[in-house]
Structure formats: C-alpha cells, structure tokens
Structure 1
Amino acid sequence: MSYNWATRLGAGFAMVIATAGAAAAAEVNVYTYREQPLIQPIFDQFTKETGIRVNVVFSNKGLEERIRAEGAASPADLFIAVDAAILEKAKAMGIGQPIKSAAVDKAVPAQFRDHDGTWVGLTYRARIFYVSKERVKDTSLTYADLADPKWKGKLCVRSGQHPYNIALIASMITHLGADKTEAWLKGFKQNLAAKPSGNDRSQVKAVYSGECDIGVGNTYYYGLMATNDKEPEQKEWAKSVRVVMPTFASGGSHVNISGALLAKNAPNRDAAQKLIEFMVGGEAQKLYAELNFEYPVVAGVAPTPLIADLGKLEADKASFAEIAKNRTKASELVDKVGFDDGPGS
C-alpha cells in the first residue's frame, strides 16, 4: 500500500531508505509536484499489480533543488513535474539520467520525450480560449488574434508571469522571435478588459458574468469545472462557454506536459523504470486522463469523453527544450510591456 512520506525529510528520510537493505528492490521513491489526488491512484494500482511500494514526497516547490543538494545520498528515484521547463531545468542541473526503455520509446511519441531520454512526458494539456457562447460567434481563432483590436476590452487572463502564460509567451518567441512577440504582447495587453488576476477558473467566471468575452486557460479546467459537485456554480460557468483550440500561424496549439525524470542517483533504478513503463501503459494512461482531464501521451488512448468533445487538438510541434530556453526572455517581456498593469497603462 502506498503512503505519503512528505513529513519524513532530509537526512532522516535518506537514512531510512539507505537502511532498507533487501527491501529496497521492492520499493520506489518519488518526489512530485503533481497533486496527490491526481496521481496517488496510479501509484496504488502499480503497487497492487507489481507489489512494489511507492514512497512519495508531495510538494509545490523546491524538489529539484533538494535532489541536487542531497547528491549521491539522495533517496529519490523519480522526479515528477507538471511543466516541461521544470524538467528541462532539472536535466540542466545534472540530477537526471537516461531512461533506457524500449517500451517507453515505443509507447511515447518522440515529441513528448527528451531527445537524450532523461525525461518522458506522461500527460499533456493545451492553452486554449474559453469564449462566450452568446457573444462570440468565431469558431476558429489563432493566438495572434489576442492582439487584434477587434477584441479591445474583451479579453481576460491571469498574470502574465504565471508559468502557464510564460510557457505560452515563450512559445510565441519560438515561432515569431522576441521583437514580434513583444509587439503581440503589447496588443494583447491593450485588449484586456481589466488587469490580469485570479486563476484559470476565474477567467471562465469572468466570461460567464459578462466581464469579458474570451478567457485564456488550460483545457483540463473545463473538465474540473463541469464535474464540480462541491461547487455547482462552476458547472454554470462551464456551460456558458465554448472552447476554441487556437493555433499558431504554422498550425498546432500550444501544449505543456507533466512528465517524469529518472534521478541520477536512483537507489531503486529498476523499480523506478518499471513505474515509468507502467505510467505510460494503456491502463495508467486511461486512469490518468480520467483523474485530471488531461490528454494521454500514448497514441490510441483517448481522453475522457468530456475533453474529447471539446474538439480535435493538434499539438504544436515546437521543441519543449527550445521553448524552455525562451522562458527568461518571456518573463522579461511581460515586465517590459507592463502586461500585469493592465490596459491603458
């Protein structure tokens, strides 16, 4: 049975693992940014089928730095992140090693794997537009349209410095270059209905209430809102919008991934690799899609019907490594144009 070791930190954690002896072969240690409800059932199913226990440290920051600080004594076998840039950062920090698995290479398209094999994608999602069913008739839009004056005062989005938006802006730099992206970002800013604020769900709420006509958000929030029995008002927000899959000029929608990196000093490397292979297997991919409303990386495994009904998603082919390189410039541009100060500033 899996259990959470989030309270067993530092040297104490390492000592427990180091003294596990013969039991080490029957366990795997995971450091993850993925929220527990969205991944624990997968770990539990893996343990049920293999007998390999999954020890987990859940956190929302600092895990890659912790693995580096622990060095050769680190108990971490796998590091799971929800952003390709974080996986690229972890790789650059030298805390990973190649995943050598024919099963992984066969199951996961090259687009969703690190070219050196250090990390592999597990799920992906798109940055899309939530548009008012009543006030927006357009069924086909591009990211460039965010800067079109026809939408002046009709757009809403969370902070430009949020990682979701930094990834989108970095993708624009990859496609357009920094100068054209800066001009686009200025136009986007002037089309905002108000200063960027809130989270992705807030943008859908703003469309529902008439504050704006188009909100920018991730695909999986539609599923989370449409099935939210605890906060039924969110179901009404979801009903008020239609999802448009915007594209770049060259085609394809911006996507980001959750993924796993095999730790450089993994004490249970074989067990860790078995867990990776399980997570990209059909059973886990289907379960993953059902839990978090993201898209499976494995071809032939369909997203949940609720997400599939949003329309066909063609993922942008831009390299995640290239996009990650442009994130610093993206952040600089957000500040340079005063994006978070809102329109008219």
Structure 2
Amino acid sequence: MSNKFFLSAAALLVTSFTSQALAEEVNVYSNRQDFLIKPIIDTFTKETGIDVNVVFIKDGMGERLQREGRLSPADLVLTVDVSRLMDVVDKDLTQSVDSKVLEENIPAQYRDADGKWFALTTRARAIYSSVERVGKRDDITYEELADPKYKGKICTRSGKHPYNVALTASMIDEHGAEYTKTWLEGLKANLARKPQGGDRDQVKAIKDGVCDYALGNSYYYGVMLTDDKQREWAESAYINFPNQNDRGTHVNISAVALTKHAKNKDAAVQLMEFLSGDEAQHLYASANHEYPVKPGVEPSELVKGWGDFKSDPRPLTDVAKHAKQAVQLVDEVQYDL
C-alpha cells in the first residue's frame, strides 16, 4: 500500500476524533416524559447543533443521582413539581448557576436565591366542579372542602402524590400543622371514594356522576379538551381557581437544575437559558397548556379562555420545607385508606 493511502486514512481518523471531541451534548434526567418536551428540545438542537439526550425517570431521581455520584452522566434535571425538585436540591445534587439571562427571564419567586434551580412553567392546583350539578364556583376555597356539606362529593388522587403533598404543604405554611391535620381529616371524610388514579380520572369521575368536585392541575384541563376521547370529561366540569378573595390559588412548577457533577456545563447552561426564553416559553404554553414563567409571555389562547386568576405569591421554598411534614400528616389521618 502506498504512503498516500496511509496518510489519507490517518487524516480521516484525525477528522473523526476531532469531530467527536468538538461535538456538544447535554444529558438530561427528566420527570417529564420525552415526548412532552421533544418539540422544545428539537428546536434547541436545530438552532445550536447541541444534541440533547433525555432519560425519563418517574420516581427516585435523587436516589439515582446519589448512587451514580461523580460518574453520573446527567448534566441537568427537569422536575415536574417542587417536592421532587427540593428532594434533589436538599441532597446536595445540584450546583449554582450564575446567569443574567436566567435572572432576567425568571422572577425571583420562581428561582433559588443561590441559583440552584429555576422554574420554567407554573400550573394551578384547581378545583373542578360539575357543570350539571354544581355550576361555576369562583368563590370556592381549599379550606371549605373540609366542610361536612361536601360529604360524599369530592374525588382526589392519592394524598401522597407530589401534587397533593405540595398543596398540603402550602396549607401548613398558611395555617400551621394542627389546622392542616384537621383539614385533611375533613377532606377525607368528604371523599366520594378511596383516592385513586390521576388528576384526569377525577374529572372523569365528575362526568360519571361519582362526585361533584375534584382536585386537579390546570394543564390537565387543556390535555383533556384537546383529546378526542377525553374531551367530554372536561366538558362535564368547570375549572375553578380557589381562594381568589384571600391568598390566591396554589401553584406548582416545572423546573430545571444543573447537576453537581455536570460534565457538559456550558452546553447545559445554554439549554437552561433557552428553556427560559420567549421561544421555548411559547412552546411550553402551546404544547403543554401551562403558564409561562417568563413575564410578558402569554398563555395559549385555550388557557387564556379559562380567565385570569390570582396566584399565591409565597416563595415555593416556603412550601417545600413543609413537604415531609405534609406526608406525615397524610399518613396520620390515613388519607389513602
């Protein structure tokens, strides 16, 4: 073989190794399934050339990151509620990010003061009511769901699900543990059936006449209204935003954080900044029926049709610090039994 052949082969190898070395990627552990964020991720990759690999982790993200330690491939974590987020943060599995872009795009209420997490969207913990048997309830509160007048009329998913844990934690922050335990006891006494299923199953139960009221996240209303099989579930119920005459409706967040041992830090921060920007925020709003966290970015037309509401302004870190106690209270009253 000629020297020319070997030189050409060597050049190809160098080019290959150089391309691999220059290739950028971000590895993401996500509570949110890949197909829900794929349009946003695909847009980021198209605009930047940075590949994003998403691993869906339903539960136990903190434990997995702990096991993997410094060998973890994860650069970012995406969480779908504040309880799971704070589990990762409290285990010291994230690191601070100093970014003017993130600080400008995300209000202080929805980001960590030390830059260890940043919210991307918000969703309201709504109370749904039967169109046929109840009507619209703009005056409803979380507190009154424990009133005996609602006996046999309420449906919820498990009290230990993170969405309900966050709501209970917000009640503790507002009223204290003793009041909240009594509230949980009253709410349990008013259930039409044992807690089961997801948020959409509770709205279906309204349609089926099992209950008149249900707790559920606001974005599920949009999911149901745009699904041929579930639209009639949504059309059987009104979405109501509780506590509009006092503290406002409890909201939860989806959020992003940079992992402690991120190998692709610069590319990961670039993705974080993209997720907080106008384009991604619009995509979140249109695809997932959530409320953009960046001021000035409007919800989708469908979501705007539900009307404006006042959200609870308390920092979500104040809510998250009560999460463990909230779970303890749910166990004490045997809510799920």
Does the alignment reach a TM-score above 0.5? yes
| TM-score normalised over the length of structure 2 | 0.90
Does 2:329 align with 1:333? yes
Aligned equivalents of 2:241, 2:139: Cα separation in 1: 7
Kept after mapping to 2: 8 A contact 1:159/1:197: yes
Matched ranges for 1:1-345 at <5 A: 23=21, 26-137=24-135, 138-229=137-228, 233-247=229-243, 250-341=246-337
Aligned-partner SS, 2:95: coil
Aligned equivalents of 1:151, 1:281: Cα separation in 2: 43
After superposition, the Cα gap between the structure-2 partners of 1:36 and 1:158, relative to the gap in structure 1 and judged at 3 Å, is: same
1:248-297 Cα shifts (integer Å, max 9, x gaps): 87421111111111112211111111100000100001111122111111
After superposition, the Cα gap between the structure-2 partners of 1:83 and 1:20, relative to the gap in structure 1 and judged at 3 Å, is: farther
Deviation at 1:22, TM superposition (A): 5.8
1:209-235 Cα shifts (integer Å, max 9, x gaps): 222111111101111111113xxx411
Kept after mapping to 1: 8 A contact 2:244/2:309: no
Unaligned runs of 5+ in 1: 1-18
Aligned equivalents of 1:281, 1:224: Cα separation in 2: 23
Kept after mapping to 1: 8 A contact 2:25/2:52: yes
Identity level (%) = 50
Runs of 4+ with deviation above 6 angstroms: none
Kept after mapping to 1: 8 A contact 2:110/2:315: no
Provide the residue aligned with 2:11 in structure 1: none
Kept after mapping to 1: 8 A contact 2:84/2:162: no
Aligned equivalents of 1:160, 1:62: Cα separation in 2: 18
Deviation at 1:179, TM superposition (A): 0.3
Kept after mapping to 1: 8 A contact 2:241/2:249: yes
| TM-score normalised over the length of structure 1 | 0.88
AA aligned opposite 2:284: Y
After superposition, the Cα gap between the structure-2 partners of 1:72 and 1:194, relative to the gap in structure 1 and judged at 3 Å, is: closer
AA aligned opposite 1:40: K
Deviation at 1:74, TM superposition (A): 2.5
Deviation at 1:25, TM superposition (A): 5.8
Kept after mapping to 2: 8 A contact 1:28/1:268: yes
Deviation at 1:55, TM superposition (A): 2.0
Unaligned runs of 5+ in 2: 1-16
Aligned equivalents of 2:134, 2:148: Cα separation in 1: 15
Deviation at 1:67, TM superposition (A): 2.3
AA aligned opposite 2:153: K
CA RMSD after TM alignment: 1.8
Deviation at 1:68, TM superposition (A): 2.5
AA aligned opposite 2:210: E
Aligned equivalents of 1:74, 1:227: Cα separation in 2: 38
Aligned equivalents of 1:149, 1:75: Cα separation in 2: 52
